[in-house]
Chains A and B, each alone.
Chain A
Amino acid sequence: MRLALLTDIHANREAFEAVLADLAQRQIDRLVFLGDIVGYGPDPGWCIDQVESQVAKGAIALRGNHDRAVGTADNILNSNARRVIDWTVNRLNARQKLFLSELPLTVEDGDTLFTHASANDPADWIYVTSAANARPSFLVCDARLIFCGHVHRAALYSCDLVGRVTHLEIAPGNPMPLLQSRRWLGVIGSVGQPRDGSTLASYAILDRTHNELTFRRVGYDATTTARKSREAGLPEALAQRLMKGI
């Protein structure tokens, strides 16, 4: 059983398509979307439709803070993000909005927990950026594997037999064995707005048979996405960060 874990697509059609094309060649049994289908990018409708059709085929999809913001007019997003959400709302039809509003915050699948942000308070959208703030996720549940997104930078944390949480460095493309002796928290990098200095779209493959996690990077046509973003009148900073991966 091989799962593809995708998160933070952020209405980036070109990146999403590139990732789908990549995993079409890799014998994936199930897709998991860890939230933030929309926001920042110029193709929210297309991305929602695509996720929706995958869900119809058995995929799991979760809600992220940007997906929530479409139906909730509050000020928890930064100004650029809020501007894009206001733009997005007018471009979605009722069915698409309904789809976003019905997405769950977390999904448990056997020994695995999927969430968008930190598992300890999924609706508070806490970033998991260090071993210290990965720890609460391990404390609040007994899942052996936890996967989240939200940070836009891939990372892997383990919690050993005595509860010590460690950040482990792994390079993309190398399968990492998720040892049975530990519990694991994988932060999946962003499909549509990578922020780790590389412009490549990010996702991960969880191989349940071999119990391995592999971070993957896929090239896509960021120039087109940036152009569409500018043409739609979205903030210039958002187009630029796609070209720099920041």
Chain B
Amino acid sequence: MSVRPHPGLEINGFTLGEQLHKGGFATIWDVTHALYRTPMVMKVPTILDGYDGPTIVGFEVEQMIMPRLSGIHVPRVMGQGDFAVMPYIVTERIPGNSMFQYFKRAPRPVAEVIELAARMAEAVHDIHRQHVIHLDLKPDNFLQRPSGEMVLIDYGLSRHDQLPDLLAEEFTIPMGTFPYIAPEQFLRQRGDLRSDLYALGAMIYELATGKMPFGQPEKLSQVKQRLWRDPVPPRAIRADIPEWLQEIILRALEVDPANRYQSAAQMIFDLAHPMQIRLTARGHKTQRDPALTVFKRWRQMRNLKAFAAPPSVAAQIERAPILLVAVDLAPEAEPLAQAIYLQIKRMLVNRPDARVACVNVIKTARLGIDPTTDAAGTNLHVARLVGLKTWAEGIDLTDDRLTYTILENTDPATAIIDHAEANRADHILMGARGHSSTRRFLGSVSAKVVAEAACSVTVIRLRDQQPEA
């Protein structure tokens, strides 16, 4: 690098203003350019004299990955500089502070914790969908737009599914930020998106309790302890944390990635539907595991070389989709409901980590007061919920990966489409009515869902009865 950054420096049309931040590996500068009106910042790596491999490769990784990302959760890239002159990346400037300042004020009220957790998880899911695992999630790397969306920065340790991992050979020690790195990152595994979910879990823990789940370890041997030592349950620190929130946090912090959330979308689903979370021992826990349990785990984990990892980010997202099943519970639709039931069971064979959201729509009248109670005085909502649960009996999903929702709408298709969108469903499964007069008059619900849904839709239809001879 032949040029060093300083205020007033002009490079490729960019003019440097004041230095905004000086970190361990890079400096951040305010920059302007005649062609861009957007406020921008320039990140320049601080390369030590002589060969500074990790910093250089980290910056190469960032130069490689950032231009491939797009969308509201990622800063837009305006320019990149060559190592021969001065390496840099110019991006749009996100106003405001990083979450680091905000986390200093933890613990926060539960409602705030959930809102922030969901927003952070949304940003993480967005980059996962774009084949990137961040691998260095921490409060400093989340910025919040004035409109509320979180923006993820600093991709120096990240991994792109479809690009070679330049960092794999560069480091002999685990990479990441000690309070937040996942056990498999300690084992130098860099290909599992569930590592990011672990870091999210550690951050939500911190937001809710004001403490880091594993403190601030300085040595690697201390980091390794998280392979067997469980953190103090959040509710033991702060009693007003609901059990379901503890369930979410401790699930994200599971040592084995296979026991965590399998995608950020599944985590967002739980944050959005706390009342549907099925509590396990994780949620009820009041103290850390007893010494004997920890000892057994230590014996099991201390020589572990690696956890089972998915082949790729895309494969993991594919393995763990959110499936939305819309079922009609009317008596005449029973054979159709049965066919949908068989189909969902078949789909789960290939996607063992899927989460299934069962939905039934109550069609409400366009005008007037809706009858939420039927003639016999039964609450329609409750009756449908019971019906839905009965239908789903035998769908074999562990944990709480099966949920039930009754929607009300004048237009069932709209209800299904909106619910799928709001819950980031990857696939809708529903039935189509036969050639009945109802369909002729009311139009086809499934046709509208197929036409307008943002995700894949599978429509199950029963063959018409053969006309009698």
Cβ of A182 and Cβ of B60 under 8 Å apart?
A: yes
Cβ of A181 and Cβ of B82 under 8 Å apart?
A: yes
Cβ of A177 and Cβ of B162 under 8 Å apart?
A: no
Cβ of A170 and Cβ of B64 under 8 Å apart?
A: no
Of B53, B56, B162, the contact of A174 (CB 8 Å cutoff): B162
Question: A169–B82 Cα gap in the complex (Å)?
Answer: 23
- How many residues in B have their beta carbons less than 8 Å from beta carbons of A? 18
Which chain B residues numbered 117 to 170 have a C-beta less than 8 Å away from chain A? 162-164, 166, 169
Q: Does B36 contact A (CB under 8 A)?
A: no
Of B56, B67, B84, B169, the contact of A180 (CB 8 Å cutoff): B84
Given known contacts A161-B51, A162-B51, A181 and B163 CB-to-CB distance under 8 angstroms = no
- How many Å from the CB of B51 to the closest CB on chain A? 5
* Residues of A contacting B164 in the complex (Cβ-Cβ under 8 angstroms): 156, 168-170, 176
Cβ of A161 and Cβ of B83 under 8 Å apart?
A: yes
- How many Å from the CB of A157 to the closest CB on chain B? 11
Given known contacts A177-B67, A179-B63, A170 and B163 CB-to-CB distance under 8 angstroms = yes
Closest to B50 in A: A162
* Residues of A contacting B51 in the complex (Cβ-Cβ under 8 angstroms): 161-162
* Residues of A contacting B64 in the complex (Cβ-Cβ under 8 angstroms): 177, 179
Summarize A's interface: helix, strand, loop or mixed: loop
- Bitwise, B330-359 to A at CB < 8 A (1) or not (0) is 000000000000000000000000000000
* Residues of B contacting A174 in the complex (Cβ-Cβ under 8 angstroms): 162-163
Q: Does B87 contact A (CB under 8 A)?
A: yes
- How many Å from the CB of A80 to the closest CB on chain B? 35
Question: A183–B84 Cα gap in the complex (Å)?
Answer: 12
Cβ of A181 and Cβ of B87 under 8 Å apart?
A: yes
Q: Does A139 contact B (CB under 8 A)?
A: no
Q: Does A171 contact B (CB under 8 A)?
A: yes
Question: A128–B263 Cα gap in the complex (Å)?
Answer: 41
Closest to A179 in B: B60
Question: A174–B163 Cα gap in the complex (Å)?
Answer: 8
Q: Does A54 contact B (CB under 8 A)?
A: no
* Residues of A contacting B162 in the complex (Cβ-Cβ under 8 angstroms): 170-171, 174
Cβ of A180 and Cβ of B83 under 8 Å apart?
A: yes
- How many Å from the CB of A47 to the closest CB on chain B? 33
* Residues of A contacting B84 in the complex (Cβ-Cβ under 8 angstroms): 180
Cβ of B169 and Cβ of A181 under 8 Å apart?
A: no
Which chain B residues numbered 65 to 93 have a C-beta less than 8 Å away from chain A? 67, 80, 82-84, 87
* Residues of A contacting B60 in the complex (Cβ-Cβ under 8 angstroms): 179, 181-182
Q: Does A166 contact B (CB under 8 A)?
A: yes
6 nearest A-B pairs in the assembled complex, by CB-CB distance: A168-B164, A181-B83, A174-B162, A180-B82, A177-B64, A179-B60
Sample of 19 A–B contacts (CB below 8 Å)? A160-B57, A161-B83, A169-B164, A170-B163, A171-B162, A174-B162, A176-B163, A176-B164, A177-B63, A179-B60, A179-B63, A180-B80, A180-B82, A180-B84, A181-B63, A181-B82, A181-B83, A181-B87, A182-B60
